[in-house]
Structure 1
Amino acid sequence: MLSPKQTLDTYYLEARRDLLEVAALLDRYDEAVNRAGGPADDESRLKVLREAMEVLAQGDHPQPNRTELLLEHFSKIN
């Protein structure tokens, strides 16, 4: 079992890469909105992603179950 520091040291770069991918997706969407002159007719997937980021942005969770929370959250949409 890894220590807290070892956990961060081991997974930090991977998590940073994944967050940059999300940022790139949001930038591409914003650029597409600007080109099209308006948002997509159905932004439900964007809404679900933003809500998921809110879950992750919360401070200390009483239980380490963020993955489970997100899986349940994502199951609400196709």
Structure 2
Amino acid sequence: MQRTSSDVLSQEFLQIRAKILEIGAFFDRLAEAGASPDQPQPKQLLDQGCAILTDDEPDKAARIQLLFSREYDADWRDKFGI
């Protein structure tokens, strides 16, 4: 049986709220550490991931997964010595 949006919200709200608070605390710690305007790539990726979460486009999980994934390289075994 498919859940309604009300079902999803009531069942998952507290868990997701905790994750959002954790992310907010991370960004607070980063700011307190004196983050520079020239942010390294990991910070830029996190910013882009957060932007995906708040846009109006579908498939957020898939787009975020692709954002944090390496591009496919046919020679990956050689590069990783496998």
- Same fold per TM (> 0.5)? yes
After superposing on structure 2, the runs of 4+ consecutive aligned residues of structure 1 that deviate more than 3 Å are none
Structure with larger RCO (C-alpha < 8 A, sep 6+): 1
Structure holding more helix per residue: 1
Indicate whether 1:67 and 2:64 are aligned: no
CA RMSD, 1 decimal: 2.0
Task: Please report the TM-score for the alignment, with normalisation by the length of structure 1.
Answer: 0.76
What TM-score do the two structures reach when normalised by structure 2? 0.73
Give unmatched runs, 5+ long, in structure 1: none
Rg larger in 1 or in 2? Answer: 2
**What whole-Å deviation, never above 9, does each CA across 1:5-49 have from its counterpart, x for those lacking one?**
00111111111111111111101011111xxxx639752111111
Unpaired runs of at least 5, structure 2: 71-82
Q: How many residues of Structure 1 are paired with residues of Structure 2 in the alignment?
A: 69
